[in-house]
Structure 1
Amino acid sequence: MKLAVVGGGSTYTPELIDGFARLRDTLPIEELVLVDPAADRLELVSGLARRIFAKQDHAGRITTTTDIDAGVADADAVLLQLRVGGQAARDQDETWPLECGCVGQETTGAGGLAKALRTVPVVLDIAERVRRTNPDAWIIDFTNPVGIVTRALLRAGHKAVGLCNVAIGFQRKFARLLDVEPGQVHLDHVGLNHLSWELGVRLGGPDGENVLPKLLAEHGDAIADDLHMPRELVDRLSVVPSYYLRYFYAHDEVVRELGTKPSRAAEVAAMEKELLAMYGDPALDEKPALLAKRGGAFYSEAAVDLAASLLGDGGSPVQVVNTYNNGTLPFLPDDAVIEVQARVGRDGATPLAVPKLDPLYAGLIANVTAYEDLALEAALRGGRDRVFKALLSHPLIGQFDSAEGLTDRLIAHNREHLAWA
């Protein structure tokens, strides 16, 4: 089995490598190709990757290339983990929206749109290269904004599934609180990427006992603290919202907070510099503890599980993924991309049935899906007016003056990445 990781020079990659090494019986990789235009980073990351494989007695071969076509040739699956523009572009996404009184964040609001505009054309170009070189390969997208990027891939006819680590993070957290193995915890996870709620937590499988009320009663303070939301809100909802919902439920508070401290991008850039120095140490043969602060916790386990299911029989039959709606949420079009539990196999992902949603959740999902429609059109076709309409439609913006100011700033800060600007 051959896997290619496009964006393999990312500081995330050792997390992925560690999972591949530990879970080699689930996903028996013979060759892993790390693809990245940054040859210097590739050298550091691949060196550590080989040492991790060696320490854990993994017989797989790790190679590197800056050539996408060569890297994806004959691959059974291609994982995408890109950041077009790097942390510098992310820093801008997280700062200029604040000038208009709007949240600055890399996956939602104006910053999320900027990232989508930079990313979708690049991802589609890579996917076309994969299709030309190896049309049978699966594409697993971990590149944000995952929902919009996955929709672009599926709409273009690619064999693609989107992946996020939010659900698996909740699964592992709840398993610890319940003192059970993670595989015993099944989530009633419903929504869009970075706009989701855990409506139930079931033991043993999709039809198991719902222990969410017990979790909230016994561990509500800890859960609310992790979300940075009031316990009262979580209790009144009686569900566990993704921590990204804080941008919606406490927007103004978050804007005030973000205006008083360095951007997350600045923090991550400093962390990456330290991590890359560590990766260059020939004595290091495991992922460093600092990597846990970088983000992407449990990404490797989720990626292994998904790839194993798409390529064979090694993964879990039901997983949380991003895929076409196809009637699952009846208030959305079939070609909307949703994030729910799905049955995953060689033919792709089929969402499980979802009970009728409370309008509190359905309304916000419908609103953000409409924004994603407009965002994808802006990413595919360009134009100031399409950018403006996408921003105006977003529930975190929704005002003419704000949308006008954000449109000008988005284009000014991203001109080098926008072919039409």
Structure 2
Amino acid sequence: MKNKLSVVIAGGGSTYTPEIILMLLDNLDRLPLRKIKLYDDDEARQNKVAKACGILINEKDPTIEYVATTDPEEAYTDVDFCLAHIRVGKLPMRELDEKIPLKHGCVGQETCGPGGIAYGMRSIGGVLENIDYMEKYSPHCWMLNYSNPASIVAEATRRLRPNSRVINICDMPIGMEHSIADIVGVSSRKDLDIRYYGLNHFGWYTSIKDKSGKELLPELIEHMKKYGFINGEKGMATENKDSWFETNLFAKHLVAIEPTTIPNTYLKYYLYPDYVVEHTNPNYTRANEVIDGRETEVFSACAEIQKNGHSKGTKLAVGIHAEFIVDLATALAFNTKERMLLIVENKGAIQNFPDDAMVEIPCIVGKDGYEPLAIGAIPAFQKGLMEQQVAVEKLVVEAWIEQSYQKLWQALTLSQTVPSATVAKQLLDDLMEANKGYWPELH
């Protein structure tokens, strides 16, 4: 009989919260729960999902205690896992993260380039605050942190909370692995053995084998040269032609640069920033898509559940965003020794890369935490790109700690997505003005 566990979802007002709840409820056999809590400092936003989540839980297992709160003590007392996905500044600030860089002819994206740097400067304090609550009220708890931008947040936790029980993760590779499984015709990404290395939103697959040990990488690369991450003519005809479709299709250009590995699709922002800017509507960015699409749909579905008092006929569904979290919590709680991609301190895993860089690599996860797998030496092209990006992330965290205008200017200047120190300074001044009250005061 497995012990029943208690979890708190930090960032309870997120539109991803209902699908995380559904994923937890779908996996009670693997991860039995006695308590689920939502915590957010925005009560009005959290209330848009909280009552619906309570109905979902009660329908599945009424013995699970459920709390939605804005009180950190109530939230963090007696919890085994904190699932943290906070967004400081919410979607209105994300919109500025995307639109301000575009005014300067730079990539406007929430985790990459200037927008990611602005978001990182907002996120660090919020994540550290939640770590401190966790350590005060439930010091045995693990925080599974997937708050963006993950690389900057991970570097901040390494620098400022080095002994905390925090594991930094991202669901992006999981989405890619679902696409890969679909392309090669296997039923699940878990039927694949993968090798991957890089930084968050900045990495490469070096091996993808099926369970028989057959290497699938060469045929996948050939497929990607034509279709990217789209499943051939079938996918071209049937997939929704949204911004993700364009991103997955564009991956064919990333393979052309380095045709021996499969790249993370986010590399388009660093390697083709001119193309990205040219093909982005500066007045209607991804933030607007989310506000008009996902946010409206999820809040409406939650309102319908609350109104009806039941979830029958709901459009809410389990999403891949939540899958990784249950796997990780199960591995930590029950010592499953599952192999997972985590964002961890390098410490020699990548042989020719700095030990103190936060890298995204496969790890074996058990009750005592994680053990990174050795990657070996990496090629000059990937190494050079990664070193530049790690320097950006470290400078951002140093700028936050030291309240340094100079270091944030340097970070923006060094970003592959920014053309010059002149543009970097103009960007910084505009982003500073937009983020008053969110960033430390720079001097």
TM more than 0.5: yes
Q: More deviation in 114-123 or 151-160?
A: 151-160
- Report the secondary structure of 1:64's partner residue: strand
Kept after mapping to 2: 8 A contact 1:94/1:265: yes
Is contact 2:339-2:364 (8 Å) kept?
yes
Task: Quote how far apart the aligned CAs of 1:291 are.
Answer: 7.2
Say which of 402, 409, 414 aligns to 2:435: 414
What is aligned with 1:204? 211
Counterpart residue type for residue 364 of structure 2: R
Moved more, 2-11 or 59-68: 59-68
Shift of residue 333 of structure 1? 2.5
Q: Within the alignment, does 1:270 sit opposite 2:292 as a pair?
A: yes
CA contact (8 A) 1:18 1:286 kept: no
Cα deviation for residue 203 of structure 1 reads 1.8
Q: State the match for 2:218 in structure 1.
A: 213
Counterpart of 2:93 in 1: which secondary structure?
helix
Give the secondary-structure state (helix, strand or coil) at the position aligned to 2:207. Answer: strand
Letter in 2 for 1:12: Y
Matched, 1:285 2:315: no
Q: Which residue of 2 aligns with 1:158?
A: 164
The CA deviation string for residues 335-389 of structure 1, in whole angstroms up to 9 with x for no partner, is 2211111111122222111142221111111110111110111122212112111
2:95 corresponds to which residue? 91
Q: Which residue of structure 2 lines up, in the alignment, with residue 139 of structure 1?
A: 143
Aligned to 1:241: 263
Structure 1 SS opposite 2:67? strand
Alignment match, 2:129: 125
AA aligned to 1:82 is: I
Over 3 Å counting, the alpha-carbon distance change for 1:147 and 1:78 in structure 2 is same
Contact 1:167 1:189 in 2 (8 A): no
Q: For residue 140 of structure 1, give the secondary structure of its aligned residue in structure 2.
A: strand
| Residue in structure 1 matching 2:199, options 189, 192, 208 | 192
Q: Which moved more, 1:251-260 or 1:42-51?
A: 42-51
2:150–2:169 Cα contact (<8 Å) kept = yes
Q: Give distance in 2, aligned partners of 1:289 and 1:214.
A: 36
Query: 1:288 and 1:325 mapped to 2: Cα distance?
Result: 43
Is the counterpart of residue 397 in structure 1 residue 418 in structure 2? yes
Q: Which moved more, 1:319-328 or 1:395-404?
A: 395-404
Question: 253, 266, 277: which one pairs with 1:255?
Answer: 277
Residues 305-342 of structure 1: CA distance to partner in whole angstroms, max 9, x if unpaired?
A: 111112223x5521011111111123333222111111
Percent identity of the aligned residues? 29
| Cα displacement (A) at 1:259 | 3.7
SS at match of 2:193: strand
Q: Offset at 1:185?
A: 0.9
The equivalent position to 1:306 in structure 2, one of 311, 328, 344, is: 328
1:287 to 1:41, Cα distance in 2 relative to 1, 3 A: farther
CA displacement at 1:58 relative to structure 2: 6.8
Indicate how the Cα distance of structure 1 residues 232 and 147 shifts in structure 2: closer, same or farther if over 3 A, else same. closer
Rounded to whole Å, the distance in 1 between the matches of 2:115 and 2:21 is 30
How much does 1:397 deviate?
1.6
The answer to whether the 8 Å contact 1:94/1:105 transfers is yes
Measure, in 2, the Cα distance between the counterparts of 1:187 and 1:104: 31
**More divergent stretch after superposition (372-381 vs 110-119):** 372-381
Aligned to 1:178: 184
CA contact (8 A) 1:175 1:182 kept: yes
Amino acid at match of 1:104: G
Can you list the C-alpha shifts for 1:78-133, whole angstroms capped at 9, x where unaligned? 11111111111000000111122111111111111111111101211221121122
Gaps of 5+ in 1: none
Residue 4 (structure 1) aligns with: 8
Give the match for residue 241 of structure 2.
none
Please state if 1:113 is matched with 2:135.
no
Distance 2:313 2:357 in 1: 37
Size of the alignment, in residue pairs?
414
- Change in Cα spacing, 1:36 to 1:55, as seen in structure 2 (3 Å) is same
Moved more, 302-311 or 42-51: 42-51
What is the TM-score when the length of structure 1 is the normalising length?
0.92
Work out whether residues 109 and 397 of structure 1, in 8 Å CA contact, stay in contact via their aligned partners in 2.
Answer: yes
Task: Flag the 1:138–1:232 CA change in 2: closer, same or farther, 3 A.
Answer: closer
Distance 1:249 1:219 in 2: 17
Given that 2:99 and 2:282 are in contact with CA atoms closer than 8 Å, whether structure 1 keeps it comes out as: no
AA in 1 matched with 2:72: I
Structure 2: unaligned runs, 5 residues or longer? 231-244
- Preserved CA contact (<8 Å) 2:225 2:253: no
Question: Deviation at 1:21?
Answer: 1.0
CA–CA distance in structure 1, aligned partners of residues 214 and 197 of structure 2:
18
Between 158-167 and 54-63, report the one with greater CA deviation: 54-63
Compared with structure 1, are the counterparts of its residues 310 and 414 closer, same or farther at alpha carbon in structure 2 (3 Å cutoff)?
same
What is the TM-score of this pair, normalised by structure 2? 0.88
Partner residue of 1:51? 55
Indicate conservation of the 8 Å contact 1:391/1:398, yes or no: no
Deviation at 1:242, TM superposition (A): 1.1
Distance 1:55 1:375 in 2: 45
